[in-house]
Structure 1
């Protein structure tokens, strides 16, 4: 393939990402190749490697776009909810909807593995942190006395549970009657888990109050 210089580096990166995400609408990442992407973009594979550093980093850049999309979807869900608990459920349902609408793109987030000697770049870690921060902020409103560590763990517990539902729903492995769906399971999960999480705090406060009253002369 002849060398092209029709785009600036930033334009070429943008074009490449648009191409990868378009291809992921049609096929799983496992069937993609650098050569196929380069052919669709109209540049040589070597040119793309020069831009991204490696094929692995090219896919990681695509994952960054996916995280940006998910982040925007969560922000939109937050804007339309009336309470922290409703917000968390709206975020969970938004995540399920994204996985259902963009299954190959969504799966690549978790199937892609960097070589052992490579560390996750800061720009990608920051995107992951931003997504969890949205959840942690809602949890902090829901349970004001919870510390940052508690909110961080709870956010990841909720995400891991919702993620499992998404995986099974996409694979059609929920093995449920027709009136049970991924959406109804997410509602059941959060409507039981969040009140129990909040109750732990209330019981602790009551216990501390009783202990204080009992120690007074």
Structure 2
């Protein structure tokens, strides 16, 4: 997955890589969708830790929001194929996530919500602001990691992310 991306992920290859029979994985974890959810939950935990480390209590909320954007882009650039699995493959999109996965997703999203709370005091508006910024940064990161951002602009992704967050919160 890390070297070849999602399309290379399969139960047989995974089993061979870890020295188990595919049926053992099915019995222990479930199908490939469940494996992907487990990988994604670990990725979200790593993302949360990276974003948490970027926050400083002596900074303004706006500066912490900019630091979160920076941390997100650094995280994505460090492991783009594993990060892309968060959005490339959603297990049964019409089904709710398991509680443990929803909790993993809530951690980094909740961190952004907490940082924006002093700037966007209405909880409904803040929820939409978090979703908007997350989606916009995802698009920027996605274009950047695919090499397609250069088609639009020669500006570095970090500069664009800081412009986006700064203007949005301005």
Task: Measure, in 1, the Cα distance between the counterparts of 2:153 and 2:125.
Answer: 35
Q: Quick one: distance in 1 between partners of 2:102 and 2:69? A: 21
Are the equivalent residues in 2 in contact too, given 1:84–1:141 (CA < 8 A)? yes
* Cα distance, 1:113 vs structure 2: 2.3
Structure of higher RCO (CA pairs closer than 8 Å, 6+ residues apart): 2
Which residue of 77, 89, 95 maps to 1:112?
A: 89
Aligned partner of 2:126 in structure 1 is 151
Task: Indicate yes or no: 2:164 matched with 1:189.
Answer: yes
Answering whether residue 156 of structure 2 is matched by residue 172 of structure 1, we say no
Matching residue of 1:11: none
Shift in Å, 1:67: 0.4
Structure number with greater Rg is 1
Report the Cα distance in structure 2 between the residues aligned to 1:98 and 1:92, rounded to whole angstroms: 10
User: Is contact 1:60–1:112 with CA below 8 Å preserved after alignment?
Assistant: no
Matched positions, count: 169
Q: SS of the counterpart of 2:28?
A: helix
Structure 2, gaps ≥5 residues long: none
Structure 1-normalised TM-score?
0.73
Q: CA RMSD in A?
A: 1.7
1:81–1:90 CA contact under 8 A, matched in 2:
no
